[in-house]
């Protein structure tokens, strides 16, 4: 029985909104902004530190951390109360929260390396959502980004995510065999949600 679904996604592909709709269809808890808040709470972070850091070029570990965290509410760069600590500490806290969410069950988890942390759980179903570059830019513009910012985000966020995954899991992002389903969101959010549900149903019919 599937108790957790992870949603990894290209930035701007609509993965966060798809995850929200999926959680709503299932009546499950959505770990997206909730995940960000819990990681920040456990790190005892203050928002002032983020504001101060955002005014100058970030060190590498902080840029990786932002790429790791800023998927909540796709298109937003505001992750509350992030304390600047070393990247390994960040990774450890994130892994602990992801594993706790999976243990709780009935959870849809967005990003944060969840597909990689939970790859050995037989009750986890892993999805990767992607889209053409132009579609990602259009989605980001609909969320209020101007065209130049949308293009810059679409070009850079996934590069930083890939760097994080490579550094901490030593795999290329996205590595196909980590996912049960990879789907293009241009078919429409509702169609993606239904396809995921169909995939989960097929997955559960497989022999143990």
What number of residues does the chain have? 208
CATH number where 86 lies: 3.40.50.300
- Give the residue, 85 or 109, on which the prediction is more confident: 109
Structural domain harbouring 58: 4-204
pTM, two decimal places: 0.81
First to last CA, the chain: 10
- Asked if pLDDT for residue 70 goes beyond 60, the answer is no
- Give the residue, 103 or 48, on which the prediction is more confident: 103
Number of separate domains in the chain: 1
Query: Region 81-92: what's the mean pLDDT?
Result: 58
pLDDT in tens, 38-49: 777 777 764 333
Rounded CA-CA distance 67/63 in Å is 6
Confidence of residue 17 (pLDDT cuts 50, 70, 90): very high
Handedness of CA 157, 163, 166, 169 (dihedral sign): negative
- Quote the Cα angle for 169-171-172, to 5°: 135
């Amino acid at each position: 029985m599937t108790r957790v679904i992870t949603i990894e996604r290209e930035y701007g592909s609509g993965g966060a909104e798809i995850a929200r709709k999926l959680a709503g269809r299932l009546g499950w808890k959505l770990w997206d902004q909730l995940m960000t808040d819990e990681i920040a709470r456990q790190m005892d972070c203050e928002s002032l530190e983020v504001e101060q850091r955002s005014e100058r070029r970030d060190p590498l570990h902080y840029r990786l951390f932002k790429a790791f965290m800023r998927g909540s509410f796709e298109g937003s760069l505001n992750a509350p109360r992030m304390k600047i600590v070393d990247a390994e500490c960040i990774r450890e806290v994130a892994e602990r929260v992801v594993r706790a969410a999976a243990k709780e069950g009935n959870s849809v988890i967005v990003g944060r390396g969840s597909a990689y942390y939970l790859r050995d759980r037989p009750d986890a179903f892993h999805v990767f959502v992607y889209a053409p570059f132009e579609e990602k830019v259009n989605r980001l513009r609909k969320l209020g980004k101007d065209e130049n910012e949308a293009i810059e985000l679409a070009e850079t966020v996934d590069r930083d995510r890939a760097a994080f995954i490579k550094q901490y899991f030593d795999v290329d992002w996205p590595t196909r065999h980590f996912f049960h389903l990879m789907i293009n969101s241009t078919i429409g959010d509702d169609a993606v949600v239904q396809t995921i549900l169909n995939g989960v149903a097929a997955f559960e019919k497989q022999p143990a």
